[in-house]
Amino acid sequence: MATMEQLTLQLRETAREILESKKAAAVIGWEKGTFWYTTTPVVLTKPEDTERLVWNEYCLNNLAKYLLDFQHSNEKVAIFARGCDSRGINRLIQDKQIDRDKVLIIGLACPGMKDDKKARELGQNADIPLAKKCQECAYPDALVYDLWIGEPKEVAKPVPEAKVFPEVEAIEQMTPDDKYASFAANYEKCLRCYACRNVCPACNCKECIFGNSSKEWSAKANNLSENMFFALTRALHVAGRCIQCGECERICPVNIPIMLLNKKIIQDIDRLFGPYEAGLDPEDKMPLGSFEFTDPEEFM
């Protein structure tokens, strides 16, 4: 089985060929970051720049979001994708934010990425654990692709499973006062930097209500009430669309466990509408975007 270094060479070659033959105008991938435990997403347009691409255990960033920058371009764009990236891409296609035929997806099998924060702490010689989001990953390999890097794999058609998250259940068992206290403790810290929103492939509104202060849906003031409003609104807006890539929680500067809200909603959707996992197939029906006569109607 090829190592990641060997695959990196294949990655570069594939990207170079795509740009040289003009199969796509740009390639989205990762390049080396400043430290050994970092990489940076990169958009390359010149064939000679493809030497910068890397594929290693610190390629943590989800690349799907960058497709939004090409929404209004007529050109095709190539993008490397593992499971999480491919789910993000499927989501953007489902939301009609990008056309499938404008994207050239280069599939990858992902061994799981390492925790960059722990890496920094423990040092290069230590045994670095997987990133939390990767420990919980159910679909490491690209679910949709046009090309494949490495040994082609037979990827079984994914069957969504109903999810139960122990950390969500733990909160569900709490008294309302304790639930609130835990929620408040988390969101008092929020800086409202919107990193979580900007990194999320499911957050793709052209104009976000939190980016338009004149409409006064929310205030820019930082207080618990506004922060909670932001958290709840965003969680509900991405309901049914969250692919559990875990990026929001990973990059939060103040370590808010953002995925708790998303997981709670995923759990509820599974319970109400049957097992569903976002982004597995652009053709699948979204539970909150379609209506079945068997849908629960407790209020009727």
Partner 1 sequence: MFTFQESEIKNLLNALAKEYKVFVPAKVGDESKFVPYDDNVELYWDRNVLLSVKDKFFPHTEPMYKFKTKRKTVEIEPLASKDEPVLLFGVRSCDLQALNCLDQVFLTKGFVDEFYRTKRDQATIVALGCNEAEDTCFCTAMGVDPQKGNGADIQAYRTQGKFGMEALTEKGQKIIDILKSYLKEENLQVPETQGFQLQPDMDGVAEKLKGMFDAELWAEVAPTCLNCGACTYICPTCHCFDISQDVRGEEGFKYRCWDSCMFEEYTLMAGGHNPRPSKKERVRNRFMHKLCYFPERYNMLLCTGCGRCLNVCPVNLHITSIIGKVKEAN
Q: Give the separation between CA 12 and CA 55, rounded to whole angstroms.
A: 9
Q: In terms of CB distance, is 135 or 223 closer to partner 1?
A: 223
* Interface with partner 1 in residues 43-62 (CB under 8 A): 43, 61
Retrieve residue 281's tokens. 């197939």
**Judged by CB under 8 A, which stretch of 33-41, 95-103, 279-287, 290-298 contacts partner 1?**
33-41
Cβ of residue 29: shortest distance to partner 1, in angstroms?
11
Which of 126, 191, 232, 236 touches partner 1 by CB under 8 A? 191
Question: Please, which residue, 33 or 150, has the CB nearer to partner 1?
Answer: 33
Closest CB 252 distance from partner 1, rounded Å? 9
Does residue 38 interact with partner 1 by CB under 8 A? yes
- Residue 69 in contact with partner 1, rule: CB under 8 A: yes
Piece of the chain touching partner 1 by CB under 8 A; list 147-155, 166-174, 189-197, 269-277: 189-197
β-bridge partners, 41: 30
In whole angstroms, what is the distance from residue 135 CA to residue 242 CA? 17
Residues 211-250 that bind partner 1 (CB under 8 A): 211-214, 219-223, 247
Which H or E element spans position 106?
strand 103-107
22 touches partner 1 by CB under 8 A: no
Q: With respect to partner 1, which residue has the nearer C-beta, 6 or 213?
A: 213
Q: Which is nearer to partner 1, 216 or 292 (CB)?
A: 216
167 counts as binding partner 1 under rule CB under 8 A: no
Q: Are 243 and 207 in contact (CB under 8 A)?
A: no
Question: Which lies closer to partner 1 via its Cβ, residue 3 or residue 40?
Answer: 40
What are the angstrom distances between the C-alpha of 176 and each of 4, 61, 116, 168, 292? 48, 36, 35, 14, 33
Q: Are 177 and 185 in contact (CB under 8 A)?
A: no
Cα pseudo-dihedral 286, 288, 293, 294, rounded to 10: 90
- Residue 253 binding partner 1, by CB under 8 A: yes
Task: List residues binding partner 1 (CB under 8 A).
Answer: 33-35, 38-43, 61, 65-66, 69, 120, 189, 191-195, 197-199, 211-214, 219-223, 247, 251, 253-255
